[in-house]
């Protein structure tokens, strides 16, 4: 297709605002999928995505559409809609000339959508503001048209109104895409440059790589080079998705499609990388490539130690499809063999954990998520700490922690509650704007460690679920942080070490000591549980010695809530861990680590 007749666009929307439904409707109206074959939620392929209602992996579909008797090819590129995947979103946006900003006409815009809208504007995309679900009785298009109109800089009456469900307004929207989005421009004669905006591992075909060609032409059966690594691969197949993969004779400037090289790991086909021809290829890569950087770390341990090899195999499998997933073996005195795993953020952690448990049938315990600290010692040496138990001994000059730029959107009545929460989480207010009379946008600098702790849950509960949050990691700050150790009879229990702000150290120590006291059975002798910062004890509990007439297996406290975990431990297979001379059943540690 000549580039004047191509339009590349994506849909920016909050979860549940109806992106998949609208996309399905477009596929059907353009004849790409007929009604009978139209699977609900066509674009969301993974089960978890469907169940959780989130889209993690982006894909691209080509749709024919006629305007004034001229045939156009519309490429719809699906963007992931979640906080942790900002980089992937930015690459999908970079593959497009325009974006449909889709907002639920009964809800208004959410923080995540706003963040992605700004990202699209920075990428100079043409924005088409659209209100969806106008068929809903609760829809208030007038109110929200003014809100999103002013964000995008158009009059309220120029905000399109559609219903993905009934199809109202959708043909007009497709016409609008053709008329208002610029056609892609590229150098047709130069060496090929195509950007990878997604790559997906397929069991049968290996990695399927989604690309947008900017310059030149990719033709089948040539050898291609990945410019970030210089790796050369044979091109086995190239084509477009409509809605199934259809091989083509090549992809020209402005076109969007897929390629298959036979590589088996998405790490060899990285999002953001530039593909060129191996012979007489481009010398300069397209701008914007960066390696995915894990920001949140957690130890994952199998509850049943004999599952360790299965956990390793499962992680190896998931890694094929997730270039951002990082892990290395970790051994813990309390939890045995496991892995230290790096994630893009909390949602990424949750998705991986859920897939491990569901798709691989593993029972796991995760240690509290932590971030990377950069520690400068008195003597000037610098250490990166990915795991609180690896915190260096000795005199520390400075500790730096990652900070985020966070945006919170909420009804104005919750401003006070949100400010109070952010303040208690060491947030610094950067600004506040009214989006409309009763909705505000608050901007904060917040430590990432506070966000991964329990920020989101608290935000939701203090605003009755109305607030939405987006954050992006942006640099580091020095902070007054300390490592708190939990000691059993003077011996540290590694899985419970935490790096916390000095003001929070005491609270953490008291809480953990209390929990452990209730979970660890009595021994023949008295066992002190202590929380310590270095050599200084900040909290203490005692497990009293067993009395002669009381037999073992006597748990104190209420463990009924932990039953689900405990049941998994078969009787007779109970593993005891020795911390110094104290014998502790492993499930006591597991129970102490499981939140609630």
| Interaction site with ligand GTP (CB under 6 A) | 13, 15-21, 41, 44, 53-55, 81, 132-133, 135-136, 163-165
Minimum separation from the CB atom of position 205 to ligand GTP (A): 24
Residues 6 or more apart whose CB falls under 8 angstroms from that of 372 comprise 295, 297, 384, 385, 386, 402
Are 447 and 426 spatial neighbours (Cβ–Cβ below 8 Å)? Answer: yes
Looking at beta carbons only, is 27 or 590 nearer to ligand GTP? Answer: 27
Minimum separation from the CB atom of position 136 to ligand GTP (A): 5
Minimum separation from the CB atom of position 51 to ligand GTP (A): 10
Looking at beta carbons only, is 104 or 330 nearer to ligand GTP? Answer: 104
Q: Give the helix ranges, DSSP H, for 478-525.
A: 502-519
Minimum separation from the CB atom of position 452 to ligand GTP (A): 22
Minimum separation from the CB atom of position 425 to ligand GTP (A): 27
* DSSP string across 128-179: EEEEE-TTSTT--HHHHHHHHHHHHT--GGGSEE--TTT-TTHHHHHHHHHH
Q: 560: which 2 tokens?
A: 């009924």
Looking at beta carbons only, is 135 or 441 nearer to ligand GTP? Answer: 135
Are 501 and 512 spatial neighbours (Cβ–Cβ below 8 Å)? Answer: no
Looking at beta carbons only, is 20 or 497 nearer to ligand GTP? Answer: 20
Taking every pair of Cα atoms in the chain, the longest distance, rounded to a whole number of angstroms, is 94
Q: 53: which 2 tokens?
A: 């209602």
Minimum separation from the CB atom of position 80 to ligand GTP (A): 9
Distance of CA 129 to the CA centre of its chain: 25
- Cis amide bond preceding 243, omega within 30: yes
Looking at beta carbons only, is 165 or 462 nearer to ligand GTP? Answer: 165
Block residue for tokens 């260096």: 392
Distance CA 442, CA 419 (A): 9
Of how many residues is the chain composed?
596
Minimum separation from the CB atom of position 6 to ligand GTP (A): 24
C-alpha distances in Å from residue 27, one per residue of 14, 167, 202 = 20, 11, 23
Minimum separation from the CB atom of position 171 to ligand GTP (A): 14
Distance CA 439, CA 415 (A): 10
Rg (CA), the chain: 27
Minimum separation from the CB atom of position 43 to ligand GTP (A): 8
3-state SS assignment for residue 62: strand
Centre a 10 Å sphere on the Cβ of residue 155 and count the other Cβ atoms it contains: 10
Looking at beta carbons only, is 409 or 493 nearer to ligand GTP? Answer: 409
Looking at beta carbons only, is 42 or 496 nearer to ligand GTP? Answer: 42
Distance CA 60, CA 197 (A): 10
**What single-letter DSSP state applies at residue 569?**
S
Looking at beta carbons only, is 26 or 207 nearer to ligand GTP? Answer: 26
Looking at beta carbons only, is 21 or 387 nearer to ligand GTP? Answer: 21
Looking at beta carbons only, is 56 or 320 nearer to ligand GTP? Answer: 56
**Which backbone phi and psi does 478 adopt, to 5 degrees?**
-80, 145
Q: 137: which 2 tokens?
A: 């009785």
The region that residue 35 occupies, defined by phi over 0 for left and psi between -120 and 50 for alpha, beta otherwise, is: alpha
Centre a 10 Å sphere on the Cβ of residue 485 and count the other Cβ atoms it contains: 21
Minimum separation from the CB atom of position 293 to ligand GTP (A): 24
Name which of 203, 264, 223 is nearest 238 in CA terms: 223
Looking at beta carbons only, is 84 or 401 nearer to ligand GTP? Answer: 84
Looking at beta carbons only, is 33 or 500 nearer to ligand GTP? Answer: 33
Q: How does 438-449 read in b/e, with b if 16+ C-beta sit within 10 Å?
A: ebbbbebbbbbb
Minimum separation from the CB atom of position 590 to ligand GTP (A): 32
Minimum separation from the CB atom of position 459 to ligand GTP (A): 20
Q: 455: which 2 tokens?
A: 């920020």
């Amino acid at each position: 297709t000549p580039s004047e007749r191509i339009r590349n666009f994506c849909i920016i929307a909050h979860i549940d605002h109806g992106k998949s439904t609208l996309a399905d409707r477009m596929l059907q109206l353009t004849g790409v999928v007929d009604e009978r074959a139209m699977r609900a939620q066509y674009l969301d392929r993974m089960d978890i995505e469907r169940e959780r209602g989130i889209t993690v992996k982006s894909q691209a579909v080509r749709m024919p559409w006629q305007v004034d008797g001229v045939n156009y090819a519309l490429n719809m590129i699906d963007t992931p809609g979640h906080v942790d995947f900002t980089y992937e979103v930015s690459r999908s946006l970079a593959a497009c000339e325009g974006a449909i900003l889709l907002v639920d006409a009964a809800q208004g815009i959410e923080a995540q959508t706003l963040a992605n809208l700004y990202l699209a504007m920075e990428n100079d995309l043409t924005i088409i503001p659209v209100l969806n679900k106008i068929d809903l009785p609760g829809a208030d298009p007038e109110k929200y048209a003014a809100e999103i109109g002013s964000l995008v800089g158009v009059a309220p009456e120029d905000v399109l109104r559609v219903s993905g469900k009934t199809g109202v307004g959708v043909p007009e929207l497709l016409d609008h895409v053709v008329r208002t989005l610029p056609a892609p421009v590229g150098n047709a004669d130069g060496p090929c440059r195509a950007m990878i905006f997604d790559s997906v591992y397929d069991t049968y075909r290996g990695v399927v790589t989604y690309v947008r060609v900017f310059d030149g032409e990719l033709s089948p059966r040539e050898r291609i080079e990945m410019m970030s690594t210089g790796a050369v691969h044979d091109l086995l197949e190239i084509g477009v998705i409509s809605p199934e993969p259809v091989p083509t004779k090549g992809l020209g400037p402005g076109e969007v499609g897929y390629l298959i090289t036979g590589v088996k790991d998405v790490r060899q086909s990285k999002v953001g990388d530039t593909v060129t021809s191996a012979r007489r290829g481009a010398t300069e890569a397209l701008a914007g490539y960066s390696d995915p950087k894990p920001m949140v770390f957690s130890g994952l341990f199998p509850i049943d130690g004999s599952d360790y090899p299965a956990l390793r195999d499962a992680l190896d499998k998931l890694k094929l499809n997730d270039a951002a997933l990082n892990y290395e073996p970790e051994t813990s005195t309390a939890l045995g063999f496991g892995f230290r795993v790096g994630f893009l953020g909390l949602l990424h952690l949750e998705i991986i954990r859920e897939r491990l448990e569901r798709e691989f049938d593993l029972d796991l315990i995760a240690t509290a998520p932590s971030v990377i600290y950069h520690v400068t010692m008195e003597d000037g040496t610098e250490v990166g700490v990915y795991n609180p138990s690896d915190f260096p001994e000795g005199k520390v000059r400075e500790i730096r922690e990652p900070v985020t730029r966070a945006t919170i959107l909420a009804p104005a009545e919750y401003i006070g509650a949100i400010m109070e929460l952010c303040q208690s989480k060491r947030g610094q207010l950067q600004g506040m704007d009214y989006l409309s009379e009763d909705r505000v946008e608050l901007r904060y600098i917040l430590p990432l460690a506070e966000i991964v702790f329990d920020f989101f849950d608290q935000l939701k509960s203090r605003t009755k679920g109305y607030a939405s949050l987006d954050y992006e990691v942006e640099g580091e700050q020095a902070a007054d942080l300390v490592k708190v150790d939990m000691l059993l009879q003077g011996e540290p229990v590694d899985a419970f070490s935490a790096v916390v702000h000095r003001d929070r150290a005491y609270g953490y120590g008291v809480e953990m000591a209390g929990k452990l006291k209730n979970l660890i059975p009595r021994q023949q002798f008295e066992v002190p549980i202590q929380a310590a910062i270095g050599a200084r004890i900040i909290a203490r509990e005692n497990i009293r010695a067993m009395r002669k007439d009381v037999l073992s297996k006597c748990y104190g406290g209420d463990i009924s809530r932990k039953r689900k975990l405990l049941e998994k431990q078969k009787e007779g297979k109970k593993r005891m861990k020795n911390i110094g001379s104290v014998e502790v059943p492993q499930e006591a540690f597991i129970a102490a680590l499981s939140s609630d």
